[in-house]
Structure 1
Amino acid sequence: MAYDHYVAVCYPLRYTVIIDSRLCGLLIVFSFFTSTLNALLHSLMLLRLSFYTDLEIPHFFCELAQALRLAHSNTLINNIMLYFMSRIFAGIPLSGIIYSYAQIISSILRMPSAGGKYKAFSTCGSHLSVVFLFYGTGFGVYISSAFTHSSRKTAVAAVMYAVVPQMMTPFIYSLRNRHMKCLPLEDLLLQEMTP
């Protein structure tokens, strides 16, 4: 999305040439391949560990860092790999997003019309709020898990990271919808109900 907004704001006349269906397909395949490879690598590295017989992870899903805490064999390689891969899979996209929006902001500030500036900022605002929500909660989870060992607080933080950003994304993007801006809620419901 950051690259899409970057091309739309900085190169609007070449948008359809740069962002074509082939590029979109390649980005989807690349994202799927890298995330699958990352999950497979961590799962295979987790299989080499030995665990105690009574296992209980204080989460509603099996988070890798929590599973590593339950192992009684040496987890140094797993922790190094977790640290390294999280820096790659979180750092590279975040730096790309920061670079894209730095270019977008510099391009917007050079625009002469206030209406163009407003339209460009409103286009990017919903994506930026989702990015801040996702990275903010993720950063908060891992910072809070370093300072607290309460399973309840860690589980609440994990819910904030795993559920809240995905749940809020449709609401954030729908606020830009023209019907949501102009019509009261009752009129929207009546329009949806009438055939």
Structure 2
Amino acid sequence: MTVSSPVRLIHPKRFGDDRGWFTEVYSEKAFDAVGISVRFVQDNHSLSRPMGTLRGLHYQTPPFGQDKLVRCVVGSIFDVAVDIRRGSPTYGKWVGAELSAENGCQLFIPIGFAHGFLTLTPDAQVSYKCSNVYAPANDGGIRWNDPDIGIVWPLPEGVSPTLSAKDEKAQMLKEFVSPFEYDGNPLQPLEF
């Protein structure tokens, strides 16, 4: 895990035997030891029935910004974080990773990054921890297919994702006035 990168791909250890496996998905002490000192206050769980469901790119503005720890508990997703911190040399850049029930990986996404995911299987379930409560007045989004960001979503050619009405009309990055400040840590490629 790269300590200087704000977005981190986490590989919790699994301990298995003939019954299956056990994993510790979150430990305040272990996360604190690698520089992720966040107090989580809310857990969310979503079900996306159709394969190709796209949720995002979402963020919450201060004072209700949210750090997120995302994992896929059924099926698989392509999970993305986009740097939206003003003054960042990686503003508008993105990183993504496949999270699945099989690989057990998690993505830590700090405040100042927009988050979204595409389901790669039907009936995908995603569980994520948040460092702040949901605040509808502070909820925002950036368009999933903004050409200035250029996310390469793993969709078959010619196939459009299933979107919410809110996500269909989200603003473009060039229309967004960021309330998030750059903290000196540029976005780095994820370590697999």
- The normalised TM-score by structure 1 is 0.20
Q: Whose Rg is larger?
A: 1
By percentage of residues, which structure has more helix?
1
- The normalised TM-score by structure 2 is 0.21
Higher relative contact order (Cα pairs below 8 Å, separated by 6+ residues): 2
